[in-house]
């Protein structure tokens, strides 16, 4: 009979699991259970966790450095990072860093709750060299207080968490333009193809269709509609069966779990991956797309 006290036990199973998502859940569960232990036991558990991670980091760092110093190894390293389990491992130990654009987006998401608590919101527009372009939404837009909020919240947070950023600029919404009578004719003659009608788009999932062997995916984002090639940047498999998270603004590949930003097409799992975007416009109630 075991003499281990009940509070020292963990419900995390010890069986071998090959599924990456299941293993990740086990790690989260074990960490949560360790945090719930009495203070003295929690300190020992966290110390053990830290010691093991530091021990592993030394070996992983040597592996990465060795691979980087060999042209063949560097190529293999980039291929390995394409796999979410390898990316997660390297990221956890601080061996790789998200690209600048991804870092900026994470900080903006971090400050959005504060902006929303003041009746407004902020959206990432673009990154141009060391300057971040944002759009203010709601009560923030067009008022003098918005500039104070921007400087005191968004800009300071970005400079604190992403030192490479030098400035933040506010982009105003472009004025609505009337559609000319010859717009449809000009569109058809310049390589644009007809997509679905606006009311054909589902609210909670992607819309996919094929035109002359080009598979196209239409997604809703926080800033409107976006069109991409219907192919995951990981292995080229179709994305239209992926899980869309409207609040997070992401779509997750149903095949290998790669997660993409619906607004920019950037891969949040492996930042070197990117969805291939197509220009999109709406004329009347019709969506037009130009595969390039």
Contact 150, 136 (CB under 8 A): yes
- CB–CB of 78/71 below 8 Å? no
CB atoms within 10 A of CB 112: 18
Is the Cβ–Cβ distance between 219 and 244 less than 8 Å?
Answer: yes
At residue 50, φ and ψ (nearest 5 deg) are -65, -40
pTM summary value = 0.42
Q: pLDDT digit of tens for each residue in the chain (292 aa)?
A: 445 455 444 444 444 445 767 777 787 788 778 878 888 888 888 888 888 888 888 888 888 888 878 878 877 877 787 677 777 777 777 676 666 777 787 788 778 777 777 677 777 888 887 888 888 776 555 555 555 656 667 888 888 888 888 888 887 654 434 444 445 555 554 678 999 998 898 877 899 999 888 999 999 887 788 999 999 887 788 999 888 888 888 998 888 888 888 888 888 887 667 888 888 888 878 899 988 6
Sequence spans of domains, the chain: 18-92, 100-170, 183-289
Count of Cβ atoms closer than 10 Å to residue 264 Cβ: 21
The per-residue pLDDT for 71 is 77
d(CA 154, CA 157) in angstroms, rounded, equals: 5
CA dihedral 25, 27, 30, 31 (to 10 degrees): -110
Q: Could you tell me the CATH superfamily of domain 183-289? A: Rieske [2Fe-2S] iron-sulphur domain (2.102.10.10)
Does domain 100-170 bear CATH number 3.30.300.130?
yes
- The answer to whether 191 and 290 are in contact (CB under 8 A) is yes
Residues 6+ apart with CB under 8 A from 254: 239, 241, 242, 243
Dihedral sign for Cα 211, 217, 222, 223, please: negative
Tens of pLDDT, residue by residue over 94-110, are 676 666 777 787 788 77
Q: Do 183-289 and 100-170 have the same topology in CATH?
A: no
Over residues 79-96, the pLDDT tens digits come to 787 677 777 777 777 676
């Amino acid at each position: 009979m075991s003499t281990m006290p009940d509070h020292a036990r963990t419900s995390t199973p010890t069986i071998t699991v090959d599924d990456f998502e299941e293993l990740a859940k086990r790690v989260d569960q074990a960490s949560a259970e360790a945090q719930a232990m009495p203070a003295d036991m929690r300190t020992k558990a966290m110390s053990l966790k830290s010691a093991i991670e530091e021990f592993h980091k030394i070996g992983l760092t040597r592996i990465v450095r060795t691979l980087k110093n060999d042209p063949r190894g560097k190529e293999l390293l980039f291929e390995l990072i394409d796999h979410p389990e390898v990316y997660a491992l390297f990221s956890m130990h601080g061996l790789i860093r998200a690209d600048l654009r991804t870092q900026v987006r994470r900080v903006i998401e971090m400050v959005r709750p504060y902006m929303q608590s003041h009746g407004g919101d902020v959206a990432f527009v673009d990154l141009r060299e060391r300057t971040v372009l944002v759009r203010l939404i709601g009560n923030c837009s067009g008022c003098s207080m918005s500039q104070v909020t921007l400087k005191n919240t968004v800009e300071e947070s970005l400079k604190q968490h992403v030192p490479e950023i030098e400035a933040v600029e506010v982009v105003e919404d472009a004025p609505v333009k009337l559609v000319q009578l010859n717009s449809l004719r000009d569109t058809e003659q310049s390589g644009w193809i007809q997509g679905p009608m606006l009311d054909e788009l589902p609210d909670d999932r992607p819309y996919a269709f094929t035109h002359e062997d080009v598979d196209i995916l239409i997604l809703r984002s926080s800033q409107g509609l976006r069109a991409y090639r219907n192919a995951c940047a990981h292995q080229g498999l179709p994305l239209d069966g992926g899980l869309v998270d409207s609040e997070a603004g992401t779509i997750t590949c149903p095949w290998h779990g790669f997660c993409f930003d619906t607004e920019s097409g950037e891969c949040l799992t492996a930042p070197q991956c990117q969805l291939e975007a197509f220009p999109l416009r709406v004329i009347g109630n019709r969506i037009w797309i130009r595969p390039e």
